[in-house]
Amino acid sequence: MDDVTLAKHASLLNKSSRIKVNEIVYPIINSKTTTFCKKYCQENKKKYTCTLPEMPYPPLANDSPLCEWGNASYAWMLDDLTNSVRLEKFRGDNGASLKAYFQVISNSIPFRERWKDWRFKNRVYAPSCVKSIHQKAPAIFYGLHNQKSTHEIAQNLKLNHQFVDDLSDQIMIALTKTNKLHLLLPKREVSLTGFGLKNSESPEFNEHQGHIPYNDCDQAEEDQKNRIKWAWKKLNCVEQFVLEEMLIENEDAFVVLESLNAMNISIKKNVAPEDTNRQQLFYFRRKALRKLAVIAGLYTND
């Protein structure tokens, strides 16, 4: 049975076909759960024993609770990659295998972002400038984002208040220098309907009717963000992938090269993906970054 027929039968919930599809996708999901869980584990590794087959961290004491995020991530990825709608879209164009189809999806930015949305339930993550300050800085950052006082953060994290106060100052400075201070702004809501209306059965009617969330920010900063967002869409998918991985996610060049190779993507003419080196990758990154800046009007070619 060819891969296109296999995918078609699996999309119709044929049991034997489903089993074969699961066997194809298992190594890919196993690799991704290990990568994602290790990268985004945060404090879990200090409190729970990892349950992944390829455990990225040594087990804790025998009586320590088990972390289920790995198993939950496996289930999420299996559904995302092999749901019926996804399988129906597989056409095997240009001789592509079902395995290659899964690899391309799992190595894509949208796949990772969907997983992060599911995993963290929100879009606020501690940026790298905060993580580099101290291992406790991300936890303090989330407390500040949630509008907690340094006294309350220190109490919740069981840390010295002066220590939390000092790290909070460093976090504020780092966010200011990188133009990311807006990450500490709470989401506010403005009601567009229901002004002046009262409801005796629901006293909070005015506060929740027709609300939309927004964040205050400087107009010049907002204009710059809009230009960059517009320019970002003008980059091709490979340029977006490299900039996202290396600048936003701070991924190591070796990992990015591995991902490009897995997707069979070349970034230099007449150089095969497996032959691409770090120097060529960094040169590609510089060109993509300059292209983004030029399109956004933040840099000229003069």
**Tens digit of each residue's pLDDT (9 = 90 or more) over 234-285:** 888 888 888 888 877 777 888 888 888 887 888 988 899 899 998 999 999 8
Domain co-membership, 78 together with 169: no
CATH of the domain at 291: 1.10.10
Residues 82/21, Cβ–Cβ less than 8 Å: yes
Residues 232/240, Cβ–Cβ less than 8 Å: yes
Number of separate helices (H) and strands (E) present in the chain? 16, 2
Phi first, then psi, for residue 190 (nearest 5°) are: -120, 125
Is 245 among the domain residues?
yes
Is 302 among the domain residues?
no
Domain co-membership, 230 together with 292: yes
Domain co-membership, 254 together with 201: no
How many structural domains comprise the chain?
4
Summarize pLDDT for 74-101 with one digit per residue, the tens. Answer: 888 999 999 888 999 898 888 889 999 9
Choosing from 165, 186, 207, the residue where a domain stops is 186
Element (H, E) at 223: helix 219-232
Is 301 among the domain residues?
no
Summarize pLDDT for 198-223 with one digit per residue, the tens. Answer: 443 444 434 433 333 444 444 556 66
Is 211 among the domain residues?
yes
Residues 127/140, Cβ–Cβ less than 8 Å: no
Domain co-membership, 107 together with 9: yes
Q: Assign 272 to helix, strand or coil.
A: coil
Give the model's pLDDT for residue 112.
84
Give the model's pLDDT for residue 302.
46
Domain co-membership, 101 together with 24: yes
HSE on the CB side for 153, CA within 13 Å?
23
Is 107 among the domain residues?
yes
Choose among 236, 281, 287: nearest CA to 109: 236
Domain co-membership, 18 together with 95: yes
Is 67 among the domain residues?
yes
Is 285 among the domain residues?
yes
Task: Give the C-alpha separation, 279 to 283, whole Å.
Answer: 6
Domain co-membership, 63 together with 98: yes
Domain co-membership, 13 together with 115: yes
Choosing from 120, 154, 171, the residue where a domain stops is 120
Residue range(s) defining the domain that contains residue 246: 221-296
Phi first, then psi, for residue 125 (nearest 5°) are: -125, 150
**Burial (Cβ within 10 Å: 0-12, 13-18, ≥19) of residue 50:** buried
Integer CA distances (angstroms), 281 to 104, 126, 177, 288, in order: 19, 26, 27, 10
Q: Indicate the average pLDDT of the chain.
A: 79
Provide the b/e sequence for 26-43 (b: ≥16 CB within 10 Å): eebbbebbbbbbbebbee
Beta-carbon contacts of 146 under 8 Å, excluding residues fewer than 6 positions away, are: 186
Give the model's pLDDT for residue 163.
92
Choosing from 120, 137, 158, the residue where a domain stops is 120
Q: Assign 53 to helix, strand or coil.
A: coil
Domain co-membership, 11 together with 60: yes
